[in-house]
C-alpha cells in the first residue's frame, strides 16, 4: 500500500524509493515502495510490462492494448539486493534499494537502464521515468513528429493539436503515438508509454545525463521490447496494439481531394477529365462544402441536388466517393443529430452537466463523446445517411478535437468507458475513438464491404481503424521532404498506411514542385493530392503539359505496381511492418542513414529504395546501403555501402531495386476495378542475395479473405542456382491472372527449363536497353522475358501445383 501521507502536491522531485516488499506471480512480480505500488508482467519472451502507481489500484488505458500476456513463466530469483526476471530475450534486474530497473541481453549487455537516483519520480501529479543515456544512443519513431530521423537532443510533446500550415520543425501535431525505438551498441529496444494524458519525451534535450518520458497525471505504465532486429520489435509492438486489416484495393489507387469540389457538375467534370486524359484514379473526396451549412449528415440541396445520382454516375466511371466527417454537431433546435444526441446524453459535458459547446465550421457545436459505447453505436447508425447515398469511405477530420481558439477547457468531462475523466486524459484518445466509430459504422451499414477510414488524429493503435494523413501541410520543398519523414516515422510506430497531401494543402505549388511530389508519392502507402480553397487549381493537369505527362507516367507506374503494393499491404497485416520503411529498420547501425543528406531515403514494399530529392536539383547524392542495387530506369548495377551521384531530372526520381528482389506488375488500367490483360509480370533482379516474394490476391473489396477467400503463393529466387521457384497456391480465391511472364534483370540466360523440361523462350536477343528512351519503366520489350503459358502446372490459378524455372 502507498504511504497515506505522500505529499502529492510537492514542488520537488520525489523518487520511487526503496522496495518495502515484493511477491511472485505466475508471470512476474508485484510489490510496493513507500510511495507506490508496482507490478511487472512478462507478456512475451521479448515484451515486459511495467506498471507503477501511487493509487491503490492501476488505471490502464482501455483502448490501445488488445493482447493479453502469454503463458510465459520467467525465471525469478533474488540475489544481492536485486530481483531477476529472465526470459529467453531479456534479463531484467530490479534493484531493491532504491527501486530501479536494468534490462540486459541474456549475454549480460546493458540494453536500457533507469537513472538509479530518479528512476520513476513524481512532480506533483506529473509522473516520469528517467533512463540513462547509453553511449552514442539514437532514438527513432514516436509517430507523427517533425524533425530528423534521429531524435537525439530534442524533446517532443504528445497533445493532439489542430495545426494549420505547421512548420517543418513544429510540435505537437495531430496525432500522439508514445512509442519509440532506441539504438546503440549493436542493440535495439522499444518503449511504449501507455498513458493518454499529455506526455513529453525528452531524448537528451538540455542535459547530458538522461532521457525521460513523463505524463501530466496517471500511472507509469510502459511496455519494454527487445529482440535482435527492429522489425521484430515493431511486430511485437503491433501484436500488442493491433495491426491494420486489408484495406479495399481501390484505396491504394490515386485519390483526388480539394477543399472543396462543388457543385455536383464540377465533380463530374473532374471525373471525366481523369478519364479523358488517361490518368488513372480511383477516389474523389467531398470536403465540407458538400454539407448544408457545414452540418454533418447533410447534403447542400443547391450544390448537390441529387447526390445519389451523382455518386452513381461516378461509380459508372470507376470512381469511389469519400466524404468528410467532422465531430462538431451544430447546436440548432430542430437539427436531428443535435436533438438526438442531447436526448440520449451523448455529448461531452461540463462538470455541472451542461453540454459543452465550441465553435467550428457550423458555428457553436456540441461534441459527441466517442469514449462512450452508446455514442459510438449512435454515430454508426447515423452513417446510414451517407451509406444510402452510395458513399464508399469516410475522412474523419477536426477530431483532435479542434475548435476555434484552439484551447479546449480541461475541466470538461468524458465517459472514458465509465471511468468519467477530464479532457486532460481523454483528448489524445478522442480522434482514435471517432475513427473507430466510423469504421464500425461502415461495418454495420455495409457488412459485405471493407471499410475505408482516413483520420487526422489518433493514438497508439489507430492502425486498427484507419489510415492516417499528416494534416494541413504547405506547398514547399521543405514540407515535401518533411512529409516523407513523417510517414516513415509513422511506419516505425505501427501505422503502416499513411500519406501526405501531395502538392501541399496551403499555398501554391510550383510546376516543378508538384511534378516531383507526384513522383515521390507514387511510392507512398496513401497516394492523395489535396489543396485548399482560394488557391489555384492543383489537379495533375493544371500545371502544363510537361507536369501532366510526368504525373501520368508515375500514376500509371503506381497502378502497374499494384500487385506488389497489395501483396505488401497483406504482409503488413500479418507483421505490422511499414510499407514505406525507414532505412533504420533494416540498417539501424549504419551511421550514414541518419545523415541529413540521406535520412529521407526509404524502402517501399521492401524491394524499392526511394531517394527523394527536391525539385530544383538536377543531380543528387544517394546512399546505397550494403548489398547490390539496380537503378530502376536503366538496370545499371551498383555495389552498396557507398555514396553515388545520380542525375535526377523531374521525370526520373532516383529509384533502385535491391538485387535478389522480385517485383510483380500488371498491365495498365484506368482504375483498380478495370480488367487488366490477365498477365502477371514478375521481374527478377539477379544478384548475390536470394529472396522470397509472397504474392497475395483476394477480391479487393469484401471481408471474405478472412474466411479463406484469398490466393497466396511464394515466389523464390535462388541466386546461386539461378532458380525461380513457385510454391503451391494457398486459399480458395481464383486468381485474376491467367498466365505469367518472367523478366530477368542482370542475367542473360541461354536457355530456360520448367521442372526440367526445356522451354522455348520469347526473347529480344536478351539485350537490355542502355537507357530507356521514354519514361515507361519495365516495358515488355525492354528486358529478356519468357511467357509461361500452355503448361497446366504453370498457371497462376488457385490450387495450382508448385513448379521451378531454371536459367542457364
Reduced to 3 states (helix: H, G, I; strand: E, B; else coil), residue 700 is coil
* CA pair distance 417, 672, nearest whole angstrom: 40
pLDDT reported for residue 720:
82
Mean pLDDT along residues 109-127: 98
Say whether pLDDT at 799 is over 60. no
* CA pair distance 193, 460, nearest whole angstrom: 10
Q: Residue length, the chain?
A: 808
Short-list 656, 528, 650, CA closest to 602 = 656
Q: Do residues 429 and 547 both lie within one domain?
A: yes
Helix, strand, coil percent content, the chain, rounded in steps of 5:
20, 30, 50
Q: Are 156 and 172 in contact (CB under 8 A)?
A: yes
Q: Are 430 and 326 in contact (CB under 8 A)?
A: no
pLDDT reported for residue 77:
97
Summarised one tens digit per residue, pLDDT across range 622-654 is 999 999 999 999 889 999 999 999 999 999 999
Q: Are 150 and 589 in contact (CB under 8 A)?
A: no
Q: Do residues 686 and 543 both lie within one domain?
A: no
Q: Choose one of 510, 542, 567: the last residue of a domain.
A: 567
CATH of the domain at 50: 2.60.40.1760
Q: Do residues 705 and 801 both lie within one domain?
A: yes
- In whole angstroms, how far apart are CA 459 and each of 159, 654, 771? 10, 34, 46
In a domain, 282, yes or no: yes
Q: Do residues 434 and 462 both lie within one domain?
A: yes
Q: Do residues 200 and 263 both lie within one domain?
A: no
Which residues on neighbouring strands pair with residue 758, listed in sequence order? 753
Summarised one tens digit per residue, pLDDT across range 178-187 is 999 999 999 9
In a domain, 362, yes or no: no
* CA pair distance 570, 696, nearest whole angstrom: 7
Strand 467-469 versus strand 453-455 pairing type: parallel
In a domain, 330, yes or no: no
- The full DSSP string for 708-722 is T--EEEEEEEETTTT
Burial zone of 108 (CB within 10 Å; 0-12 exposed, 13-18 middle, 19+ buried): exposed
In a domain, 220, yes or no: yes
In a domain, 507, yes or no: yes
Between 592 and 740, where is the model more confident? 592
Short-list 87, 43, 50, 90, CA closest to 69 = 43
Summarised one tens digit per residue, pLDDT across range 743-789 is 888 876 556 676 666 665 554 432 222 222 244 455 454 444 444 44
Q: Do residues 379 and 268 both lie within one domain?
A: yes
pLDDT reported for residue 2:
46
**pLDDT, averaged across the chain:** 92
The one catalytic residue in 114, 300, 397, 806 is 397
The one catalytic residue in 115, 231, 400, 698 is 400
Q: Are 477 and 513 in contact (CB under 8 A)?
A: yes
In a domain, 351, yes or no: no
CATH of the domain at 495: 3.20.20.80
pLDDT reported for residue 718:
84
CATH of the domain at 710: 2.60.40.1180
Give the rounded distance of the alpha carbon of 770 from its chain centre: 37
Under the banding of pLDDT at 50, 70 and 90, the label for residue 33 is very high
Mean pLDDT along residues 724-748: 86
pLDDT reported for residue 749:
59
Summarised one tens digit per residue, pLDDT across range 659-691 is 999 999 999 999 999 999 998 998 889 888 888
* CA pair distance 659, 505, nearest whole angstrom: 37
Q: Do residues 290 and 200 both lie within one domain?
A: no
pLDDT reported for residue 686:
87
Our count of domains for the chain comes to: 3
Q: Do residues 411 and 523 both lie within one domain?
A: yes
R_g (Cα) of the chain, nearest Å:
27
Q: Are 68 and 48 in contact (CB under 8 A)?
A: no
In a domain, 575, yes or no: no
Q: Choose one of 241, 271, 295: the last residue of a domain.
A: 241
Q: Do residues 264 and 231 both lie within one domain?
A: no
Mean pLDDT along residues 154-166: 98
**Which spans in 83-169 are helix H?**
none
pLDDT-above-90 percentage for the chain: 86
Q: Do residues 174 and 274 both lie within one domain?
A: no
Q: Choose one of 518, 540, 567: the last residue of a domain.
A: 567
Q: Do residues 177 and 260 both lie within one domain?
A: no
Give the rounded distance of the alpha carbon of 202 from its chain centre: 23
pLDDT reported for residue 631:
94
Mean pLDDT along residues 391-415: 98
| Domain residue limits at 674 | 662-807
Sheet (strand 19-25) strand order: 19-25, 28-33, 37-44, 47-53, 220-226, 187-193, 179-184, 138-141
**Which spans in 464-522 are helix H?**
477-492, 511-521
pLDDT reported for residue 794:
39
441 phi, psi to nearest 5 deg: -65, -40
In a domain, 109, yes or no: yes
Neighbouring C-beta atoms of residue 704, cutoff 10 Å: 15
Summarised one tens digit per residue, pLDDT across range 57-103 is 999 999 999 999 999 999 999 999 999 999 999 999 999 999 999 99
Short-list 120, 133, 148, 145, CA closest to 183 = 133
Is residue 472 flagged as an active site residue? yes
Q: Do residues 670 and 780 both lie within one domain?
A: yes
Amino acid at each position: 500500500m502507498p504511504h497515506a501521507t505522500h505529499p502529492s502536491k510537492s514542488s520537488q522531485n520525489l523518487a520511487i524509493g526503496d522496495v518495502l516488499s515484493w511477491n511472485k506471480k505466475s508471470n512476474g512480480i508485484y510489490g510496493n515502495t513507500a510511495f507506490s505500488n508496482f507490478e511487472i508482467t512478462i507478456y512475451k519472451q521479448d515484451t515486459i510490462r511495467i506498471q507503477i502507481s501511487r493509487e491503490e489500484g492501476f488505471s490502464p488505458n482501455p483502448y490501445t492494448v488488445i493482447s493479453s500476456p502469454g503463458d510465459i513463466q520467467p525465471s525469478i530469483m533474488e540475489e544481492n539486493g536485486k530481483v531477476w526476471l529472465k526470459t529467453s530475450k531479456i534479463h531484467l534486474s530490479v534493484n531493491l534499494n532504491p527501486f530501479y530497473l536494468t534490462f540486459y541481453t541474456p549475454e549480460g549487455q546493458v540494453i536500457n537502464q533507469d537513472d538509479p537516483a530518479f528512476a520513476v519520480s513524481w512532480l506533483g501529479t506529473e509522473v516520469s521515468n528517467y533512463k540513462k543515456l547509453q553511449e552514442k544512443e539514437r532514438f527513432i519513431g514516436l509517430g507523427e513528429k517533425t524533425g530528423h530521423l534521429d531524435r537525439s537532443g530534442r524533446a517532443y510533446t504528445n497533445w493532439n493539436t489542430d495545426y494549420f500550415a505547421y512548420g517543418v520543425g513544429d510540435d505537437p501535431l495531430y496525432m500522439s503515438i508514445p512509442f519509440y525505438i532506441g539504438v546503440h551498441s549493436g542493440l535495439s529496444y522499444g518503449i511504449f508509454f501507455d498513458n493518454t494524458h499529455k506526455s513529453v519525451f525528452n531524448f537528451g534535450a538540455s542535459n547530458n545525463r538522461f532521457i525521460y518520458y513523463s505524463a501530466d497525471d496517471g500511472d507509469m505504465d510502459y511496455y519494454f521490447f527487445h529482440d535482435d532486429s527492429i522489425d521484430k520489435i515493431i511486430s511485437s509492438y503491433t501484436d500488442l496494439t493491433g495491426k491494420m486489416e486489408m484495406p479495399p484495393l481501390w484505396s491504394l489507387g490515386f485519390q483526388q481531394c480539394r477543399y472543396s469540389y462543388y457543385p455536383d457538375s464540377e465533380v463530374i467534370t473532374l471525373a471525366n477529365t481523369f478519364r479523358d486524359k488517361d490518368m488513372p484514379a480511383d477516389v474523389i473526396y467531398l470536403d465540407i462544402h458538400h454539407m448544408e451549412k457545414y452540418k454533418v449528415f447533410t447534403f447542400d440541396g443547391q450544390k448537390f441536388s441529387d447526390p445519389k445520382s451523382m455518386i452513381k454516375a461516378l461509380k459508372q466511371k470507376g470512381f469511389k466517393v469519400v466524404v468528410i466527417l467532422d465531430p462538431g454537431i451544430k447546436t440548432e433546435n430542430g437539427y436531428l443529430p443535435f436533438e438526438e444526441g442531447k436526448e440520449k446524453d451523448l455529448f461531452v459535458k461540463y462538470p455541472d452537466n451542461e453540454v459543452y459547446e465550441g465553435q467550428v465550421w457550423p458555428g457553436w457545436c456540441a461534441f459527441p463523446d466517442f469514449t462512450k459505447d452508446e455514442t459510438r453505436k449512435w454515430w454508426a447508425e447515423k452513417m446510414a445517411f451517407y451509406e444510402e447515398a452510395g458513399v464508399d469511405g469516410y475522412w474523419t477530420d477536426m477530431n483532435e478535437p479542434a475548435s476555434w481558439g484552439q484551447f479546449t477547457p480541461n475541466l470538461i468531462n468524458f465517459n472514458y468507458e465509465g471511468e468519467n475523466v477530464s479532457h486532460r486524459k481523454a483528448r489524445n484518445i478522442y480522434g482514435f475513438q471517432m475513427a473507430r466509430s466510423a469504421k464500425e459504422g461502415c461495418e454495420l451499414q455495409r457488412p459485405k464491404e471493407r471499410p475505408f477510414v482516413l483520420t487526422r488524429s489518433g493514438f497508439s493503435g489507430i492502425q486498427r481503424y484507419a489510415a492516417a494523413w499528416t494534416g494541413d501541410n504547405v506547398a514547399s520543398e521543405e514540407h515535401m521532404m518533411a512529409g516523407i519523414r513523417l510517414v516513415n516515422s509513422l511506419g516505425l510506430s505501427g501505422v503502416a498506411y499513411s500519406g501526405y497531401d501531395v502538392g501541399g494543402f496551403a499555398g501554391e505549388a510550383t510546376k516543378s514542385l508538384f511534378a516531383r511530389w507526384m513522383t515521390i508519392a507514387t511510392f507512398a502507402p496513401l497516394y492523395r493530392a489535396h489543396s485548399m480553397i482560394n488557391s489555384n487549381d492543383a489537379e495533375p493537369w493544371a500545371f502544363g503539359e510537361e507536369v501532366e505527362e510526368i504525373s501520368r507516367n508515375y500514376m500509371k507506374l503506381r497502378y502497374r505496381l499494384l500487385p506488389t503494393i497489395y501483396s505488401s499491404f497483406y504482409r503488413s497485416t500479418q507483421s505490422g511492418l511499414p510499407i514505406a520503411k525507414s532505412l533504420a529498420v533494416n540498417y539501424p547501425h549504419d551511421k550514414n542513414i541518419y545523415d541529413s543528406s540521406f535520412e529521407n531515403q526509404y524502402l517501399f514494399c521492401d524491394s524499392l529504395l526511394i531517394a527523394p530529392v527536391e525539385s530544383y536539383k538536377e543531380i543528387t547524392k544517394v546512399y546505397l546501403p550494403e548489398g547490390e542495387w539496380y537503378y530502376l530506369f536503366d538496370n545499371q548495377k551498383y555495389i552498396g555501402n557507398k555514396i553515388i551521384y545520380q542525375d535526377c531530372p523531374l521525370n526520373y526520381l532516383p529509384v533502385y531495386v535491391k538485387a535478389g528482389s522480385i517485383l510483380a506488375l500488371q498491365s495498365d488500367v484506368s482504375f483498380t476495378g478495370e480488367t487488366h490483360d490477365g498477365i502477371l509480370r514478375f521481374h527478377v533482379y539477379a544478384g548475390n542475395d536470394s529472396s522470397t516474394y509472397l504474392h497475395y490476391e483476394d477480391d479487393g473489396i469484401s471481408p471474405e479473405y478472412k474466411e479463406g477467400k484469398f490466393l497466396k503463393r511464394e515466389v523464390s529466387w535462388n541466386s546461386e542456382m539461378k532458380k525461380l521457384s513457385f510454391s503451391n497456391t494457398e486459399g480458395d480465391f481464383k486468381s485474376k491472372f491467367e498466365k505469367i511472364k518472367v523478366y530477368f534483370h542482370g542475367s542473360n540466360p541461354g536457355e530456360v527449363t520448367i521442372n526440367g523440361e526445356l522451354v522455348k523462350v520469347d526473347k529480344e536477343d536478351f539485350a537490355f536497353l542502355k537507357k530507356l528512351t521514354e519514361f515507361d519503366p519495365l516495358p515488355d520489350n525492354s528486358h529478356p522475358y519468357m511467357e509461361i503459358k500452355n503448361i497446366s502446372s504453370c498457371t497462376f490459378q488457385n490450387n495450382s501445383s508448385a513448379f521451378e524455372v531454371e536459367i542457364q
